C-alpha cells in the first residue's frame, strides 16, 4: 500500500520522485500511470488521494515541474494501446497563470472554475484508469456565450483545452494529456425544445443520454442511439465521437440522425448550424465535420437530433450457434425475414459468455444445458405486439429447423429481456474484473471478422484469453485480450499485428470508439496519407493554434 | 398426482403504471402485459416437482379476456402440460377467482394447487387463502421452500414470517402460495416454445363452472399517489434551522 501511495503521490506531484521507479531511463519523463497495480480500483482510489497536501505546495510543485519537464513518455504499453509513444508537450502552449484564473473567475463566477484537487483527479483520469492527465483547472460553462468567451481567451493566450462530457471514452480522448484546461459541459444540460410531430429534439450538449431517454419516454419517443454508458455519457460527447451503440443497425449512425449542431470554434466564434430540417441542401453540410472529430475542430454546444417514436412491442431472443458461419447466415436471414422490426443483432463468443458468468453477480445462463461456441442476441422493435412476436417466433423456429440455431430462449417479460441485455452489456465490466485487458474496436467485413479472433488466439496461446463480441449487424468486432496483468510480451504479439491485419482486410481500426490519444498515430492503418493531410489542413483552418484537444485524433507531428 | 397452477396476466413488472384519465383504473391499452412474477415462481415450483417425479402433470389455469391465452402459452412454453382458460371479463376480484379455482379443482381433482402469494397489479394477497377456505384444504402461504412427500401424501412448507422461518406440514391435497425466494423461474426456450404450440388450451365459460360474477365490491376511484416535491439544497445550517422553524414548523 505504501508503494501505491508513493507512486500516486508521484503522479500528483508530477513525479518529482522519479528515483522510486525502477525504469527511469529517460530523464524528465513522466509516466501517465506509474504501474499497473494501480489499475486495481481499490488501490487507485485510495492511492490517488492528495487531500493531505496543502494546495499552495501542490501548485508550487506543479509549476516547478512544468518548467523542468517538457517531455512525457506515455507508457501506454502497460495498457494495450500504443507501444511506448513519446508525446511531447507542445511548447507553443502557455501555462495557466494567476491572471488567467482571475479572468475565468470574472466571466464564469468562482463556482464554475474548479481547482479542487479531488474533483480534478476524477476529471483528469478516464474511467478505465488508463489515461491520466495533470490539468489544474476545470471550467464548467453554463451556456454558449460563456464557452465562447473561454475559447476566445484561451486561443488568444494559447492555452490548450480538452472538451469533456461524461468522460466515458475508451481511447483517452476526453482527458488531458498534459495540463490542458478541462472544459466540462455538464452544466449545459437543458432540453431546448421537442417537436411531437417531427420527433426533433433540440437540447444542450451536456444532457446525459439516459436523461434524454427518460425525457423522450414520457413523450413516447426514444433516442436513436443507446449504449452501455448511457447513465454518464453526454449527448455532446456521443456526437463528437460519433458513438455507435446497440441500435445502429436499426436507426443508422449519428451522421444520419443529427439534424443540426451549434458549435464553438477555437477562436470563440459560434457557428449556428442548429437546423431541424431533414432536408437541407444549401452548400457544404459542415455539421458532419464535427460529428466524430472528437472535439478537435470545435466544441458542440447544442444539438438537434431526430428521434424515432417509441414502439410498444419489443421482443428479445437469446440464441446459441454452433459456429461463426451460422451466426452470419442467421444475420443474413434476420435482415430478410425480420426486416423492418430488427433493432439489434449482437454476438458474443463462449469466452465472453464465460467471463460474464464468472465475474458478474446475478447473471445466469439463459441456456444452461450446455456451453455453445457463439451466442446471438436479437431484438425486434415494432408496433404490433402479437404480430411481431409471431414473426420472430416463426423466424427462430425456421432457423432452428435449419440448424442455424442450436438452442435459444425468448424473453417473456421485460425483466427477462433486460437480463438478456445484461449479458451482452456486461462484457466490458466482466473483462475489467478479470484483470488486464487490451481493447480493440474494429470494423471488418462480417465474413472475415471472426478469423482475426481465431488468429489472435493461435498467436497468444495460453498467455491470454482472447474474447470476441460486438455488433455483428454492423460488422463491428470488439476484440478484447484479457490477461492476468499487462505484459509487454503479450502486447508485442497483438500490436501491430491487429492493426496490420485490419488494414489488409480494408477494415477500420476504430469502428465506434474513436482514435483519441490511443490511436492518433495509428490513423494511417485506415486512412491514406492524402486523407490525413487534408484532415490536418481542416484542423489548421479551424483551429490554427491547435488548442482544441491536442495530441489526439491525428498525429501531432502534422499539426504542431 | 396432478398439480394445478393459477396464472394471472398483469401489467409487466417493469412498466411504469399510468392511471386512466377517467380514474376508473390503470391504463392497459398498448401496455406490455406479462405473467405475474409470483405466478411464474408457482409454475416453476410445480415443474420442478414434476421433474423430480413427485407430480405427473402440471395444469396451468387462467381467467380473463382472450389475451390470457398468450400468458398461458408462456406457461406451456415453460413446461406446463396443458392449460385451461376461463373466459371472463378483465376485472375479477379475489373471491370470484377463488370460486372459479374451486370449481376447476372439482373438475380436475389435483393433489396440489399452487398460486403466487399475490398479483403485482392489485396486491390483494387473498385468492390463495380464500380458495383454501372454500375447498376446506390446508394452506401454506408465502412458501420459501416446499418439500412434497409422495408416500405420506404430505407437504412440508417453510414460510418466511417476521423474525424467522415457520415450518408447516400439510396433508395433501393442499393450497400453497409462493414467495419471492422460493425459486428462480426458467426461461422459455425455443424447443419448448415449439412444443407448446401443440399443447392443448381448453376454454371454459363461467356458466360451465357455475360461478356468477356478482361482487360485493365496487371501485370508486383509482388515483396516483401525490407526486413527491423536489428537495432543495441549502447553503448553511442557519438556513436549515430557519426552514425547519418557519416553513416546516417542526422545531
Q: Where are the domains of chain A?
A: 2-183, 191-306, 313-427, 435-513
Straight-line distance from the first to the last Cα atom of chain A, in angstroms, rounded to the nearest whole number: 40
Q: Is A366 on the interface with B (CB under 8 A)?
A: yes
Give CATH for domain A313-427. 3.30.70.2190
Q: Which three cell numbers stand for residue A282?
A: 444549401
Is B183 within 8 Å of B78 (Cβ atoms)?
no
Contact B190 A410 (CB under 8 A): yes
Contact B37 A415 (CB under 8 A): yes
Query: A372 contacts in B (CB within 8 Å)?
Result: none
CA-CA distance, A455 to A445, in Å (whole number)? 16
**Best of A317, A409, A415 to mutate (most B CBs within 10 Å, chain B):** A409
pLDDT of residue A556: 85
Confidence of residue B28 (pLDDT cuts 50, 70, 90): confident
Contact B34 A414 (CB under 8 A): yes
| Cα dist from A415 to A59, A107, A434, whole Å | 51, 49, 26
Higher pLDDT: A36 or B79? It is B79
- Rounded to a whole number of angstroms, the distance from the CA of B188 to the nearest CA of chain A is 5
| Cα dist from B96 to A290, B6, B61, B168, B202, whole Å | 64, 13, 14, 28, 20
Q: Is A279 on the interface with B (CB under 8 A)?
A: no
**Best of A405, A413, A416, A421 to mutate (most B CBs within 10 Å, chain B):** A413
Give CATH for domain A2-183. 3.30.43.10
Instruction: Nearest by CB to B12, from A318, A366, A414: name it.
Output: A414
Q: Is A451 on the interface with B (CB under 8 A)?
A: no
DSSP string, A436-462: EEEEEEEE--HHHHHHHHHHHHHHHGG
pLDDT of residue A289: 96
pLDDT of residue A473: 86
Run of H or E including A305: strand A299-306
Considering only alpha carbons, which residue of chain A is nearest residue B197? Answer: A393
Residue A100's CB is within 10 A of a number of other CB atoms, namely 18
CA-CA distance, A73 to A32, in Å (whole number)? 8
| CA-closest candidate to residue A423, choices A381, A376, A466, A464 | A376
Q: Which fold has domain A191-306?
A: 3.30.465
| Cα dist from A120 to A134, A182, B18, B119, whole Å | 8, 9, 43, 50
Query: B32 contacts in A (CB within 8 Å)?
Result: 312, 314, 385, 413-414
**Over residues B63-69, mean pLDDT:** 93
Residue A116 CB partners (closer than 8 Å, separation 6+): none
Q: Which fold has domain B2-224?
A: Rossmann fold (3.40.50)
Q: What is the 8-class DSSP label of residue A77?
A: G
Residue A221 CB partners (closer than 8 Å, separation 6+): A194, A199, A201, A307, A308, A309, A310
Does A496 sit behind a cis peptide bond, omega within 30 degrees of 0 on the bond before it? yes
pLDDT reading at B166 higher than 80 = yes
Contact B191 A400 (CB under 8 A): yes
Considering only alpha carbons, which residue of chain B is nearest residue A414? Answer: B14
Contact B191 A413 (CB under 8 A): no
Q: Is A52 on the interface with B (CB under 8 A)?
A: no
CB proximity under 8 Å: A 310-339 to B? 312, 314, 317-319
pLDDT of residue B217: 82
One pLDDT digit (tens) per residue for chain A, 560 residues:
334 444 443 333 333 333 333 333 333 333 333 333 333 333 333 333 333 334 444 333 333 333 333 334 333 333 334 334 568 899 999 999 999 999 999 999 999 999 999 999 999 999 888 899 999 999 999 999 999 999 999 999 999 999 999 999 989 999 999 999 999 999 999 999 999 999 999 999 999 999 999 999 999 999 999 988 899 999 999 999 999 888 888 999 999 999 999 999 999 999 999 999 999 999 999 999 999 999 999 999 999 999 999 988 899 999 999 999 999 999 999 999 998 899 999 999 999 999 999 999 888 899 988 889 999 999 999 988 888 988 999 999 899 989 999 999 999 888 899 999 999 989 999 998 998 899 999 999 999 999 999 999 999 998 899 999 999 988 999 999 999 888 888 999 998 999 999 999 999 999 999 999 999 999 999 999 999 999 999 999 999 999 999 999 999 888 86
**Best of B189, B194, B233 to mutate (most A CBs within 10 Å, chain A):** B189
Strands ordered across the beta sheet of A258-264: A191-194, A200-204, A299-306, A258-264, A270-273
pLDDT of residue A166: 94
Count, residues in chain A: 560
Contact A413 B188 (CB under 8 A): no
Q: Which long-range contacts (CB under 8 A, 24 or more apart) does A448-456 make?
A: A448/A505, A448/A507, A449/A475, A449/A477, A450/A324, A450/A349, A450/A477, A452/A477, A452/A479, A452/A498, A452/A501, A452/A502, A453/A349, A453/A477, A453/A479, A455/A501, A456/A481, A456/A494, A456/A497, A456/A498
Q: What are the domain boundaries of chain B?
A: 2-224
Residue A382 CB partners (closer than 8 Å, separation 6+): A311, A313, A340, A341, A388
Instruction: Nearest by CB to A410, from B30, B32, B188: name it.
Output: B188
CA-CA distance, A225 to A295, in Å (whole number)? 19
Contact A412 B74 (CB under 8 A): yes
Burial label, A401 (beta-carbon count in 10 A; 0-12, 13-18, 19+): exposed
| CA-closest candidate to residue A509, choices A441, A409, A412 | A441
- Phi and psi at A549, nearest 5°, equal 40, 60
CA-CA distance, B94 to B218, in Å (whole number)? 13
Instruction: Nearest by CB to B32, from A319, A396, A414: name it.
Output: A414
Q: Which three cell numbers stand for residue B83?
A: 392449460
CA-CA distance, A201 to A305, in Å (whole number)? 5
3-class SS at A257?
helix
Considering only alpha carbons, which residue of chain B is nearest residue A383? Answer: B30
A447: left (phi over 0), alpha (psi -120 to 50) or beta: alpha
CATH class of A435-513: alpha beta
Considering only alpha carbons, which residue of chain A is nearest residue B18? Answer: A218
Considering only alpha carbons, which residue of chain B is nearest residue A419? Answer: B187
Contact A312 B32 (CB under 8 A): yes
Instruction: Nearest by CB to B189, from A364, A407, A414: name it.
Output: A407
Amino acid at each position: 500500500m505504501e508503494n501505491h501511495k508513493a507512486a500516486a503521490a508521484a503522479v500528483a506531484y508530477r513525479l518529482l520522485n522519479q528515483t522510486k521507479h525502477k525504469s527511469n531511463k529517460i530523464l524528465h519523463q513522466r509516466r501517465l500511470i506509474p504501474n499497473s497495480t494501480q489499475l486495481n480500483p481499490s488501490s487507485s482510489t485510495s492511492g490517488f488521494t492528495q487531500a493531505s497536501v496543502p494546495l499552495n505546495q501542490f501548485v508550487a510543485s506543479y509549476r516547478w515541474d512544468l518548467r523542468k519537464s517538457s517531455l512525457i513518455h506515455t507508457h501506454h504499453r502497460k495498457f494495450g494501446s500504443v507501444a511506448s509513444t513519446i508525446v511531447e508537450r507542445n511548447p507553443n502552449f502557455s501555462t495557466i497563470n494567476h491572471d488567467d484564473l482571475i479572468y475565468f473567475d470574472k466571466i464564469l463566477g468562482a463556482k464554475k472554475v474548479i481547482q479542487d484537487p479531488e474533483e480534478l483527479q476524477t476529471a483528469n483520469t478516464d474511467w478505465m484508469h488508463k489515461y491520466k492527465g495533470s490539468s489544474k483547472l476545470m471550467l464548467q460553462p453554463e451556456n454558449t456565450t460563456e464557452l465562447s468567451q473561454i475559447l476566445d481567451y484561451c486561443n488568444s493566450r494559447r492555452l490548450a483545452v480538452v472538451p469533456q462530457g461524461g468522460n466515458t471514452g475508451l481511447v483517452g480522448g476526453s482527458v488531458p494529456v498534459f495540463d490542458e484546461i478541462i472544459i466540462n459541459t455538464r452544466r449545459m444540460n437543458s432540453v431546448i425544445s421537442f417537436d411531437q410531430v417531427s420527433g426533433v429534439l433540440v437540447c444542450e450538449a451536456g444532457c446525459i443520454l439516459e436523461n434524454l431517454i427518460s425525457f423522450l419516454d414520457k413523450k413516447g419517443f426514444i433516442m436513436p442511439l443507446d449504449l452501455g454508458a448511457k447513465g454518464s455519457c453526454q449527448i455532446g460527447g456521443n456526437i463528437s465521437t460519433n458513438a455507435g451503440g446497440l441500435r445502429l443497425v436499426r436507426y443508422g449512425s449519428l451522421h444520419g440522425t443529427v439534424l443540426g449542431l451549434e458549435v464553438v470554434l477555437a477562436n470563440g466564434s459560434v457557428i449556428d448550424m442548429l437546423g431541424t430540417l431533414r432536408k437541407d441542401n444549401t452548400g457544404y453540410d459542415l455539421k458532419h465535420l464535427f460529428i466524430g472529430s472528437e472535439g478537435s475542430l470545435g466544441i458542440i454546444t447544442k444539438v438537434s437530433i431526430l428521434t424515432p417514436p417509441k414502439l410498444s412491442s419489443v421482443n428479445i431472443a437469446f440464441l446459441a450457434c454452433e459456429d461463426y458461419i451460422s451466426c452470419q447466415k442467421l444475420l443474413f436471414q434476420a435482415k430478410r425475414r425480420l426486416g423492418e422490426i430488427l433493432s439489434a443483432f449482437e454476438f458474443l463468443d463462449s469466452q465472453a459468455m464465460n467471463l460474464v458468468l464468472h465475474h458478474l453477480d446475478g447473471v445466469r445462463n439463459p441456456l444452461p444445458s450446455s456451453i455453445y461456441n457463439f451466442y446471438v442476441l436479437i431484438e425486434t422493435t415494432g408496433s404490433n405486439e402479437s404480430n411481431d412476436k409471431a414473426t420472430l417466433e416463426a423466424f427462430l423456429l425456421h432457423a432452428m429447423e435449419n440448424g442455424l440455431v442450436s438452442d435459444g430462449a425468448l424473453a417473456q417479460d421485460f425483466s427477462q429481456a433486460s437480463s438478456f441485455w445484461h449479458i451482452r452489456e456486461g462484457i466490458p465490466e466482466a473483462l475489467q474484473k478479470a484483470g488486464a485487458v487490451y481493447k480493440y474496436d474494429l470494423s471488418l467485413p462480417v465474413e472475415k471478422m471472426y478469423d482475426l479472433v481465431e488468429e489472435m488466439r493461435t498467436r497468444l496461446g495460453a498467455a491470454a484469453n482472447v474474447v470476441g463480441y460486438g455488433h455483428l449487424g454492423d460488422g463491428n468486432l470488439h476484440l478484447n485480450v484479457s490477461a492476468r496483468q499487462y505484459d509487454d510480451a503479450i502486447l508485442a504479439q497483438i500490436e501491430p499485428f491487429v492493426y496490420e491485419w485490419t488494414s489488409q482486410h480494408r477494415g477500420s481500426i476504430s469502428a465506434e470508439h474513436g482514435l483519441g490519444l490511443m490511436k492518433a498515430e495509428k490513423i494511417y492503418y485506415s486512412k491514406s496519407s492524402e486523407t490525413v493531410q487534408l484532415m490536418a489542413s481542416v484542423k489548421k483552418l479551424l483551429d490554427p493554434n491547435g488548442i482544441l484537444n491536442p495530441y489526439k485524433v491525428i498525429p501531432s507531428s502534422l499539426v504542431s | 398426482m396432478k398439480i394445478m397452477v393459477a396464472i394471472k396476466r398483469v401489467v409487466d413488472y417493469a412498466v411504469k403504471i399510468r392511471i386512466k384519465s377517467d380514474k376508473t383504473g390503470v391504463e392497459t391499452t398498448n401496455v406490455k402485459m406479462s405473467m405475474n412474477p409470483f405466478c411464474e415462481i408457482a409454475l416453476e415450483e410445480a415443474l420442478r416437482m414434476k421433474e423430480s417425479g413427485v407430480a405427473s402433470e402440471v395444469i396451468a389455469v387462467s381467467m380473463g379476456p382472450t389475451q390470457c391465452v398468450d400468458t398461458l402459452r408462456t406457461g406451456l412454453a415453460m413446461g406446463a402440460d396443458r392449460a385451461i382458460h376461463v373466459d371472463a371479463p378483465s376485472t375479477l376480484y379475489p373471491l370470484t377467482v377463488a370460486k372459479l379455482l374451486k370449481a376447476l379443482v372439482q373438475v380436475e381433482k389435483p393433489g396440489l394447487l399452487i398460486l403466487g402469494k399475490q398479483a403485482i397489479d392489485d396486491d390483494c394477497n387473498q385468492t390463495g387463502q380464500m380458495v383454501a377456505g372454500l375447498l376446506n384444504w390446508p394452506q401454506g402461504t408465502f412458501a420459501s421452500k416446499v418439500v412434497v412427500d409422495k408416500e405420506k401424501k404430505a407437504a412440508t412448507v417453510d414460510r418466511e414470517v417476521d423474525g424467522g422461518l415457520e415450518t408447516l406440514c400439510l396433508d395433501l391435497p393442499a393450497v400453497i402460495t409462493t414467495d419471492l425466494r422460493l425459486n428462480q423461474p426458467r426461461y422459455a426456450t425455443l424447443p419448448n416454445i415449439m412444443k407448446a404450440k401443440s399443447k392443448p388450451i381448453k376454454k371454459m365459460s363461467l356458466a360451465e363452472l357455475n360461478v356468477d360474477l356478482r361482487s360485493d365490491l365496487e371501485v370508486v376511484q383509482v388515483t396516483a399517489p401525490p407526486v413527491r416535491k423536489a428537495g432543495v439544497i441549502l447553503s448553511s445550517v442557519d438556513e436549515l434551522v430557519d426552514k425547519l422553524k418557519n416553513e416546516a414548523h417542526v422545531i
